[in-house]
Amino acid sequence: MPGDVPDGTEVEALRALARSLACEAGALVRDGRPERVEVAATKSSAVDPVTAMDRASEELLRARLAAERPDDAILGEEGDDVPGTSGLTWVLDPIDGTVNYLYGVASYAVSVAVVAGPPDPERWTALAGCVHSVVDGRTWTAARGGGAERDGRAVHAGRPASLAQSLVGTGFGYDAVRRAHQARVLAGVLPQVRDIRRLGAAAIDLCLLAEGALDLYYERGLNPWDVAAGGLVAQEAGAWLGGLRGRGASRAMTVAGARPVVDELVRLLEDADADGAEDPAPR
């Protein structure tokens, strides 16, 4: 069940705060990027990097939230969870698209969202969020029941005529076994759609879907901070957001797009066992 929203919650005020936080952290990331970025650590595998700027950006966000919303919990990609007493949790991705940041590829963002209930995409209620594209400054925001915007203008998800005419965004994990499985799934999806785009930042992908620049999106292995803000933007723009086999969006699979065409993609992914065993052996 979705998380209960505490009485008196002002989602537009939360949207404004999410935007302020994301833009401030984005300025830090943009202005502080050295000519050559070094890897500070790795996460899930040797090719899943963390940079010093990931940590600096999250430290800034945590410090601002401690001052502005001291009773709220925090779930961030790079730091320890912070418990709260308000029933709200801020879900932070200090740089979504770290590999792009590392290489200087212009698709990475700061993602800030606030949710009610457990910090689990299948159980929370997303209330407000912001995705700030660092390089070009595009800023998407959403508030529950208040619609989605890019730079203050309302956005709406596209309505593709068919799966065959849909431009589909996706992404890949960093574990070699998972990537092999995802490649097999992709081989089944690609002939059925207009084309595939892999931009490397899930939050931006979901926001592009929200404004019709992508028709559909799917990805396995997304963490809560990858989907919290961008997923709400997509939903408030009129897209469906969920998973496979009746589940909600989760690490097992996240799918987004307008109905009824997104339902065709869900069936295609289910038939391909896109959320199933990641057997490295060829099938």
* DSSP string covering 123-146: T-EEEEEEEEETTT--EEEEETTT
- pTM higher than 0.75: yes
CB of 88 closer than 8 Å to CB of 3: no
DSSP state at residue 36: S
The pLDDT value given to residue 79: 78
- Average pLDDT on 1-28 reads 92
Domain ranges of the chain: 11-154, 163-271
Q: Give the burial class of 187: count Cβ atoms within 10 A of its Cβ; 0-12 exposed, 13-18 middle, 19 or more buried.
A: exposed
The pLDDT value given to residue 44: 62
DSSP percent split of the chain into helix, strand, coil, nearest 5: 35, 25, 40
Identify the band that residue 281 occupies on the pLDDT scale cut at 50, 70 and 90.
Answer: very low
Tens of pLDDT, residue by residue over 46-94, are 555 668 889 999 999 999 999 999 999 999 988 789 999 999 999 999 9
Tens of pLDDT, residue by residue over 84-125, are 999 999 999 999 999 999 899 999 999 999 999 998 999 999
The pLDDT value given to residue 6: 86
pLDDT value at 280 more than 60: no
Q: Which helix (H) or strand (E) holds 91?
A: strand 88-96
The CATH number, out of the four listed (3.30.540.10, 3.10.129.10, 3.40.50.1110, 3.40.50.300), of the domain defined by the range 11-154: 3.30.540.10
Which residue in 197, 254, 269, 189 sits closest to 221, CA to CA?
254
Look at domain 163-271 and name its CATH class.
alpha beta
Tens of pLDDT, residue by residue over 239-276, are 999 999 999 999 999 999 999 999 999 999 999 999 99
- Average pLDDT on 191-214 reads 98
State the Cα–Cα distance between residues 251 and 222, nearest whole angstrom. Answer: 5
